[in-house]
Structure 1
Amino acid sequence: MHTNLEFPELLQLIDERSTAFRAAIAAAPDLDVPVPSCPGWTLADLARHIGEGRHAWAATIAAGPDTATKSTEKGTPAPQERDALLAWLATATQAMLDALREAGPERGSWAWWRRSQSPRTCGAVARHQLQEIAVHTYDAQLALGDPQPLPAPVALDGVEDFQFTCCATTAAWPHQPAVVDYHATEGRSWRLSLSADGARVTRLSAPTAGADVSATGPASDLVLFCYGRLGPDAVKIDGDTRIFDQLIAWDPGA
């Protein structure tokens, strides 16, 4: 039986992935190294994005469940000197973790996913923030030429979070109805049903017939495929590949 990561596990894994991100920044020969998976960005740009984003989420969570917009708080400007930048990143991450811990998983929070299947709670924010730092840690490692797979617990939760948070919506699917399955080789599967009623996700107890197209691979590869870090050749695709092209091009709004 599948169970989601518990809130304390999410916070611990955010901390671990943030540490791995800082380790990549610390190991870089230069902060002007370009990040191939974030066109136009250098490692310095990526680090600034991470730090400012954690400060903004810390302030948003602290503002409480009734806030109508995400905070524009960015903290102090990102330092240019590497050691100071690393300390700034650690402070930003700790501020977000402290805000999440104080609020608890059940408290409401502003979130951009108004029409998804994910709740607008601090627990759901923590879940998605884990994926944010995990994928950007991969980006930083890729810039150094040594990308590492996402840890299995992070990746398995990441496939589901992407489906429930980023894909599920009540916005009408503008094409022919379709069924898309995702199969992680670690033994978990999900089904995305697309129709005029929107996009809805269900967990599958086992691979099941009826999909128009499916993607199969290790959970890390599925997450990185979903976020556009890996191409379709990185996973095994069966069925009508045009549906993935339609999904990638679709912008249903949050």
Structure 2
Amino acid sequence: MTESLEYSDLLQLIDERSAAFRDAVAAAPSLDAPVPSCPGWTLSDLVQHLGTGQRWWAAVVAAGPAEAPPAKDAAEAPRELDALLAWYAESNELLLSALREVGPERACWTWWRAGVSPSNARGVARRRVHEVLVHTYDAQLAAGTVQPMPAHVALDGVAEFLDTCNSTPAAWPHEAATVRYHATEGRSWLLALDGTGAWPAPLPDDAAPATVSATGTAEQLLLFVWGRLTMSDLKIEGDRQVFERLIAWEPEE
């Protein structure tokens, strides 16, 4: 796993970003407002998605090591604003309470078991930080109140995405390639794609050029890997087709 924030910092960020999420929802003109970055979703759908996710991961963490996750709660969230915000705050506290109780090394089921990120409470906390971070952006976009992301959190978010979503032993079905992400804040990451799968890799000492590279702020890179921005929003050098193939790839493990 690449460098990560401390466990206590992750829990604090889940709390802080969730407060920012609730503020954005409260500032929106309506819960029926469309979420431009999540086509087909309203703001109400977004709150339901994130709150249900917090509750489910609380149950996953509490269950400990398991071959399969617990079933998701199919209950509908409240439809009235104050009740919905209270439901989401409760959802978030359920997750935080579970994470605090078990500690960072508690093993649990995760969908990224074959990747770099650990299948434990620390891995879950880190994933949920960035889930809330990006969905806060979505809510702010819907409300017309987009605020800059904390740079250090966005930096960790890029690394976490490579560790979790772009980390797989499924063979890359195209010619081997390397993808470099460079944040203008001074951090870079390399993703290697070949017959062994897709894995975050050390940056070469000779600074050899990657097959393709993307340069932008940490926030821009994070929103790009999460599908909120496109290549036109970044400085792209090299074979753009690698990014197109990576975005379209659905590996079978």
Q: TM-score, normalised by structure 1?
A: 0.95
Please state how far the C-alpha of 1:150 moved relative to its aligned partner: 2.0
| 1:202 aligned partner, one-letter code | A
Determine if the alignment matches structure 1 residue 217 to structure 2 residue 223. no
Give, in whole Å, the separation in 1 of the partners of 2:36 and 2:82: 24
1:169-218 C-alpha deviation (Å, 9 max, x unpaired): 11000000001101111111111111111111124388922301001111
Give, in whole Å, the separation in 2 of the partners of 1:206 and 1:20: 40
In the TM superposition, structure 1's runs of 4+ consecutive aligned residues that sit over 6 Å from their partners are: none
Indicate how the Cα distance of structure 1 residues 118 and 80 shifts in structure 2: closer, same or farther if over 3 A, else same: same
Structure 1 residue aligned with 2:27: 27
Determine if the alignment matches structure 1 residue 135 to structure 2 residue 134. yes
Residue aligned with 2:165, SS: helix
1:215-237 C-alpha deviation (Å, 9 max, x unpaired): 11111100000011011122111
Q: Is the 8 A contact 1:189 1:206 kept in 2?
A: no
Please state how far the C-alpha of 1:80 moved relative to its aligned partner: 1.2
Structure 1 residue aligned with 2:238: 239
Structure 1 residue aligned with 2:248: 249
Give, in whole Å, the separation in 2 of the partners of 1:80 and 1:155: 31
Give, in whole Å, the separation in 2 of the partners of 1:243 and 1:120: 29
Please state how far the C-alpha of 1:145 moved relative to its aligned partner: 2.3
Structure 2 residue aligned with 1:189: 188
Q: Is the 8 A contact 1:4 1:157 kept in 2?
A: yes
Indicate how the Cα distance of structure 1 residues 24 and 246 shifts in structure 2: closer, same or farther if over 3 A, else same: same
1:18-39 C-alpha deviation (Å, 9 max, x unpaired): 0000001111111000111111
- For residues 143-182 of structure 1, the aligned pairs below 5 Å read 143-182=142-181
Please state how far the C-alpha of 1:40 moved relative to its aligned partner: 0.9
Indicate how the Cα distance of structure 1 residues 207 and 183 shifts in structure 2: closer, same or farther if over 3 A, else same: farther
Give, in whole Å, the separation in 2 of the partners of 1:204 and 1:19: 36
CA RMSD for the aligned pairs? 1.7
Structure 1 residue aligned with 2:93: 94
Q: Is the 8 A contact 1:53 1:74 kept in 2?
A: no
Q: Which segment is superposed worse, 197-206 or 88-97?
A: 197-206
Indicate how the Cα distance of structure 1 residues 26 and 134 shifts in structure 2: closer, same or farther if over 3 A, else same: same
Q: Is the 8 A contact 1:35 1:143 kept in 2?
A: yes
Determine if the alignment matches structure 1 residue 121 to structure 2 residue 108. no
Q: Which segment is superposed worse, 197-206 or 184-193?
A: 197-206
Give, in whole Å, the separation in 1 of the partners of 2:87 and 2:206: 45
Q: Is the 8 A contact 2:211 2:239 kept in 1?
A: yes
| 1:90 aligned partner, one-letter code | A
For structure 1, list consecutive stretches of 5 or more residues without a partner in the other structure: none
Q: TM-score, normalised by structure 2?
A: 0.95
Give, in whole Å, the separation in 1 of the partners of 2:181 and 2:118: 22
Give, in whole Å, the separation in 1 of the partners of 2:74 and 2:245: 38
Q: Is the 8 A contact 1:225 1:232 kept in 2?
A: yes
| 1:19 aligned partner, one-letter code | A
Residue aligned with 1:204, SS: coil
For structure 2, list consecutive stretches of 5 or more residues without a partner in the other structure: none
Give, in whole Å, the separation in 2 of the partners of 1:117 and 1:49: 25
Structure 1 residue aligned with 2:106: 107
Give, in whole Å, the separation in 1 of the partners of 2:225 and 2:101: 31
Indicate how the Cα distance of structure 1 residues 209 and 253 shifts in structure 2: closer, same or farther if over 3 A, else same: same
Percent identical among aligned pairs is 56
Q: Is the 8 A contact 2:28 2:144 kept in 1?
A: no
Determine if the alignment matches structure 1 residue 50 to structure 2 residue 50. yes
